[in-house]
Chains A and B, each alone.
Chain A
Amino acid sequence: MVFPVLECFHILGFILLAGSIALIDFHLLAGLMRDQGSAQLTSDAAPWTLIGLALALISGSLLFASDPDHYYLNPAFQFKMAVLLAAIAFHYTVHGRVVRPGASAGSGKLAACVSLALWAGVIGGGIFIGFVNGPE
């Protein structure tokens, strides 16, 4: 019963995490809430990104701890962790820079595409954990 409950918290966490980041990405890429400043929107979303990240990381670690051997040899899990590290690093460096007032629209669009691709990769990697097997 604990595992499925943790999974639900994990899903809720990554919806907050990726959803709040996607909001900024769609703003940069497709002009969602065009009349709002990118920096202002980012500061609106940032606390929810952090709550989502905390929720997803805590529940994710506990899910991992339930059966570490099963996970760390799984190629989909390894892929997910690599992309997750890249996504978090990208978010708190490049992504934070392109929303500043002086940044060019082109760099914003590029960063939004990279960000969406990275987070989609993390989620897709997570799904594939259940469909691929590690070495026995």
Chain B
Amino acid sequence: MTPVLRFAQWLQYTDWAAALRYSAQVYPLVLSLHLVGIAFFGGMILFTDLRLLGLAMRRLPILKVVGALRVPKHIGITIVAACGIAMASSKAEEYYYNWFFWTKMSLLALICVHGLAFRRSVYRNTQEPAPSQAKLAGALSLILWTSVMICGRGIGYIEPPLQKLHALLWFKMVGVAAPWLTRICAWL
């Protein structure tokens, strides 16, 4: 068993992760907050990208739009990520076998690389960025975030491999015991 899988199993059996998994109300509420956050604050990422591409708010300098939306975007990503981490923890073992989940995580890592790569030339530039650099940064960001969104939706479409899940071990044991139990009952 890999350390990652062992960590995933430990994580999903922590009290709060298990409570979230079995809650009929809290889980959809956390998912709702995740999506409301995506709409309200992901919209700001979208507007930043559209401005970088020269499609929205062209009357304002790039510097101004990027600067004004930076702090609210950071607040937003904190809310959305907190909800995401809570949900992923509650189904950690299942998600370990979900390739959409790992693709999404890899894309998020790429987004960090993207932010660092364009930090000097665009996002933290003290002068107005060159349009070509801005367009490249905006287009890449748009592609990366759209892919994250698609993978996020995709996670829900992967069936968990039931025979591998530790969580279902108990049910498996009952399944093995059941024929014997019926035989014993019949004998009695």
List A residues at the B interface (Cβ < 8 Å): 4, 7-8, 11-12, 14-20, 22-23, 26, 30, 32-33, 36, 44-45, 48, 116, 119-120, 123-124, 126-128, 130-131
Q: Give chain A's interface secondary structure class.
A: helix
Residues of A within 8 A of B56 (CB): 44, 48
Q: Is the CB of B81 closer than 8 A to any CB of chain A?
A: no
Enumerate 27 A-B pairs (CB-CB under 8 Å) in ascending A order: A4-B153, A7-B153, A11-B35, A14-B39, A15-B39, A15-B42, A15-B43, A15-B46, A15-B149, A17-B39, A18-B39, A19-B39, A22-B39, A22-B40, A22-B43, A30-B72, A33-B68, A36-B60, A44-B56, A44-B57, A48-B50, A116-B40, A119-B39, A120-B36, A123-B35, A127-B32, A128-B28
Complex partner residue of B44 from A19, A119, A124, CB under 8 angstroms: A19
Task: List the interface of chain B (C-beta within 8 A of A).
Answer: 24, 27-29, 31-32, 35-36, 38-44, 46-47, 50, 56-57, 59-60, 64, 68-69, 72, 146, 149-150, 153-154, 157
Q: Known: A26-B72, A32-B68. Is A127-B43 also a contact (CB below 8 A)?
A: no
In the assembled complex, the CB of A114 is this many whole angstroms from the nearest CB of chain B, namely 15
Q: Chain B residues near A44 (CB, 8 Å)?
A: 56-57, 59-60
B153 and A19 form a contact (CB under 8 A):
no
Cα of A15 to Cα of B68 in the assembled complex, Å = 19
Cβ–Cβ < 8 Å partners of A130 in chain B: 28
Checking B24, B36, B41, B157 against A124 with a beta-carbon cut-off of 8 angstroms, the contacting residue is B36
Distance A9 CA – B28 CA, assembled complex (angstroms): 21
**B157 CB contacts on chain A under 8 angstroms:** 4
In angstroms, Cα B158 to Cα A4, docked, is: 12
Known A128-B28, A131-B27; further 13 A-B contacts with Cβ < 8 A: A7-B153, A11-B38, A16-B43, A16-B46, A19-B40, A23-B44, A32-B69, A44-B59, A44-B60, A124-B32, A127-B28, A127-B31, A131-B28
